[in-house]
Amino acid sequence: MSTPPIYNFSSGPAVLPDAVLRIAQNEIFDYNGTGFSVMSMSHRSDAFMNILYHAEQDLRRLMGIPDTYKVLFLQGGANAQFNMVVMNLANGFKSVDSVVTGNWSSIAHKQMGKLSDVEIRLAADGGRDYQYTQLPPVSAWDIDQNSAFVHFVINETVHGLQYQAVPKLDEGMPPLVCDMSSEILSRRVNVADFGVIYAGAQKNIGPAGATVVIIREDLLDRCSDRVPDVWNYRAHVNRQGMYNTPATYPIYIAGLVFRWLESQGGLGRMEAINTEKARLLYEAIDNSGGFYLNNIQPDARSKMNVIFRTGNKELDKLFVQESTLRGLCQLEGYKTVGGMRASIYNAMPLQGVEALVEFMQEFQRRYG
């Protein structure tokens, strides 16, 4: 008798492709004939330098990263970037523009000025204006042309919001700095529209521990020697990402994920699958006659993090309990929002979403 599948809807650290985990399992004791694990090899060894090189090249190919951009695999998570972007890019500037669209951009807004005297200007506030049910349109962002950069989060994991049309600023405006943690590699974007893209690995890239930073080369000229090397983008670039010991194993897994994405048809194919998964799930919510609720405006709904609730907290708890018993795991909503949240990143197969929709319909028949 076969064991029923387990589907992991965690928002992060999140599900990884089975094919990637099988390769990692096979190589855990002996990587590529070396006789030892990636976890125990020198980060300066030829074997690891080869892993790092191919991870970067595969990421460049997947995203179409221009040669005028540098790629770094850092540590500290996306949260560390809230301060690093200011320390490195705001030297000589009076202000930074900040767009608040949900939980993580709100935290970024509060943190960015803590190690700098630069003013963090609120360019848009989706909480104040829309109660986090809609996104401030780019046309309404109050941007100071003299600001160092404009910071925003493209997908808000907690509130279930996502810019469906990727924001782009007119020529002559400050560079865009984007926290892309929870949607990177889920669809095609034009990297050249951004000054900096950064992303924690633990959602769509690999395990927790690595942070990808993609930075336009000319912006490195802003990095001051007064910024300690460990927080200085230019110092990391000058040392080919080897200023300190990188997160070797997460980078190794990330490289396997990049190869897996290529084998699946690349980002165009992933975008189509992710769109279909989100369509199925939102249709189940919208066609439930009000049993399931999602108050996000349709054009701002996230394709990565689908939030919903029943309107009854006890029923929400029961949903999470029963779904877990059915192998639909980690569906509990964020602590400040409640309800349920299904994170359907690249590695979540379509069959997992279909199983969740089937359970939702069954649960409604029993308790609706």
User: Which residues are catalytically annotated?
Assistant: 104, 179, 203
Say if residues 306 and 158 touch (Cβ distance below 8 Å): no
Say if residues 237 and 216 touch (Cβ distance below 8 Å): no
Return d(Cα 204, Cα 154) in angstroms, integer. Answer: 14
What residue type is 251 in one-letter code? Answer: I
User: CB atoms < 10 A from the CB of 368, how many?
Assistant: 13
DSSP class of residue 163? -
* Residues, the chain: 368
* Consecutive H or E run containing 340: strand 340-343
* Consecutive H or E run containing 260: helix 248-263
Among candidates 171, 176, 124, 168, which has minimal Cα distance to 148? Answer: 176
